Amino acid sequence: MQRYQKMLQANRAWVEGKLRLRPDFFTQTAKGQQPELLWIGCSDSRVPAEEITGAEPGELFVHRNIANQVIAGDASLLSVLQYAVDVLKVRRIIVCGHTHCGGVAYAMTDGGWSTVDRWLDRLRSLRRQNEQELKKISDEEERFDRLVELNLRAQLRNLAQTETVRDAWSRGALLPLHGWIYDLRTGLLEEVETLDAKSAQLC
């Protein structure tokens, strides 16, 4: 049996398990969603948002891309953000990076001219801006981890500058922005930074 066929079987087993615990689970979730959180994370297959947070269907509104980027011209991200904030009325937003990120690792090289290279251009610029600090870190894994953190903090600030977040803050919404890092070596999430309307003004 091929992997995709096993996934279909696993889905049926999952459905049966949910229905045993709560017979109305799917009829209720089909009625609509009211997630409290928007998750902006990396596309890496090892960082499934719902699984690592223990979230149930309906609890997270999720957007994922390579290296958890928040780019002003990304219509996909901006659409998800606007829908989450203005329609779903999420209460907070999490940007989650992770150790051993392939996108960050690739941005540590000079790269080329592919679509992925263009996507990671801003991350490479961030690396160059912090070149002196990064060069002082002799341990390669520590240097890698530091760029993961710098990237996370940069994306949190990019998020704070979006029109959707600024408008929400101007209307008095609290809408804190949380920066988390998931450590693939331990399975643990760590909160690195939180921004709100006041602290974002100081950045």
CA distance 101 to 68: 10
Q: Is 178 a catalytic residue?
A: no
Instruction: State CA 94 to chain mean position distance.
Output: 6
CA distance 129 to 124: 9
- Which of the residues 63, 101, 122, 145 is marked catalytic? 101
C-beta of residue 38 within 8 angstroms of C-beta of residue 91: no
DSSP string, 65-107: ETT----TT-HHHHHHHHIIIIIS--SEEEEEEETT-HHHHHH
Q: Is 42 a catalytic residue?
A: yes
Q: Is 203 a catalytic residue?
A: no
Q: Is 171 a catalytic residue?
A: no
Amino acid identity of 79? Answer: S
CB contact burial 28-63 (16+ within 10 A = b; e otherwise): eeeeeeebebbbbbbebeebebeebbebeeebbbbb
- Which of the residues 63, 96, 98, 153 is marked catalytic? 98
Q: Is 46 a catalytic residue?
A: yes
- Which of the residues 12, 22, 24, 46 is marked catalytic? 46
C-beta of residue 184 within 8 angstroms of C-beta of residue 98: yes
| Residues belonging to the active site | 42, 44, 46, 98, 101
